[in-house]
Amino acid sequence: MRSLIHVLALLPVLFGSVPAFVCAGELLPTWSWRLAEEELYVYRFDMDGLNWRQIRQEREQRRTVQEKPKHLELVRGLLSDPFAAVDPGAVPPLPAGMAVIRDPDGARKTIPVTPGMREIVLPEDLGLNGRYLVGGHFQLDGHGNQRVHLYPKLMVGHFKGNGRPGSTPAFFFDDPAIALEIGSARSPAMFRMGGGLQRPHESAEMEVRFQGHPLARATVEAIAEGSGWRRSYRTDASGRFTVIPFDDRSGQRHYEKLLYVVRVEDPNQHALHIATLPMIIFRNQPEWTSHVAGYMIWAGLGLGGTLLLAGGAMLRNQRQQRLSLVRFSQCRIKED
């Protein structure tokens, strides 16, 4: 598989040595995966201004993109703006690291990262349908003897007609190379495809794992790309937290993207661990348009019923008039 990764170096970060979860800092590095043409993987409802040819083209693009190879790049940013990439010509080369891919059959592949890499392309087998996990482990030097470990993660769905479904879907790597990760708390056996989308205004349960075990009392921050909205969550004793994504109707795009960020300080190992997970939040169909079909059906039924009643009344009046004329004629004949 041809695999390339592009990353950008960031400013060093000052981290404290208190054995606790680290508070958010403006210079905290947050690396995340970005799927090329991600907007095509999200169904859009805002097509009122398009003609029928444009609508057909949009739908065809979204159908065929599911069958094509997926291209991923690594965006390197700061907690203050995690979605903005820095000019690669103004930063040092990529530090040591690796990318890890888990396919829907459970097979893992580790790819060493080199400074010249630009992106990752998957899957190798276009006929294998299901959820692919893409992770990474990169190390940065902090202040003093502290080491920063970054774990970007992304869930990518692949579907090709006549392909076979994966036998072992998962939401977590459970791999020593990925010490800290965020994933869905749903059953992977029930949800075999995708997993990188969430519905607005519907609760979604997420989970944080550290070294293969659920991590309790961890602080997870959710950051919206378009609006800049932020919110913090706290995991419970089972390492889980519940999110109710919002529906940003004021945005220019037909979807929103949240970046989940969790960080843990390990003073015994003089290490700071930071994990990220992007999640697409698609925009709901507006309520007034979502009920248009129902309104049209009831309006049609009402109009049809009105026409039937009016037609029946007209026929009845005509029949009564004919009967009246017949009776009048009969009376005149008798009188004559």
Residue-wise pLDDT tens digits, 254-298: 888 999 999 999 888 889 999 999 999 887 765 444 445 555 677
The answer to whether residue 15 is domain-embedded is: no
Residue 232 pLDDT: 95
Same domain for 150 and 259? yes
Q: Residue 148 in contact with residue 142, Cβ under 8 Å?
A: yes
The answer to whether residue 127 is domain-embedded is: yes
The answer to whether residue 275 is domain-embedded is: yes
Residue 190 pLDDT: 77
Which range marks the domain in which residue 324 is found?
A: 291-335
Binned at pLDDT 50, 70 and 90, residue 197 comes out as: confident
Residue 121 pLDDT: 92
The answer to whether residue 14 is domain-embedded is: no
Phi, psi of 75 (to 5 degrees): -95, 130
Residue 17 pLDDT: 30
Residue 25 pLDDT: 58
Binned at pLDDT 50, 70 and 90, residue 70 comes out as: very high
Q: What is the CA radius of gyration of the chain?
A: 30
Q: Residue 148 in contact with residue 271, Cβ under 8 Å?
A: yes
Cα separation of 60 and 56, whole Å? 6
Number of structural domains found in the chain: 2
**Can you give the pTM of this predicted structure?**
0.75
Same domain for 239 and 97? yes
Same domain for 165 and 91? yes
Residue 4 pLDDT: 35
Binned at pLDDT 50, 70 and 90, residue 243 comes out as: very high
Same domain for 215 and 308? no
Residue 3 pLDDT: 38
Same domain for 281 and 298? no
Q: Which residue has the higher pLDDT, 200 or 236?
A: 236
DSSP codes of every residue in 158-177: E--TT-EE-SS--S----TT
Residue 317 pLDDT: 82
* Least trusted range by pLDDT, from 48-52, 99-103, 123-127: 48-52
Q: Residue for token digits 């990925």?
A: 178
Q: Which residue has the higher pLDDT, 305 or 288?
A: 305
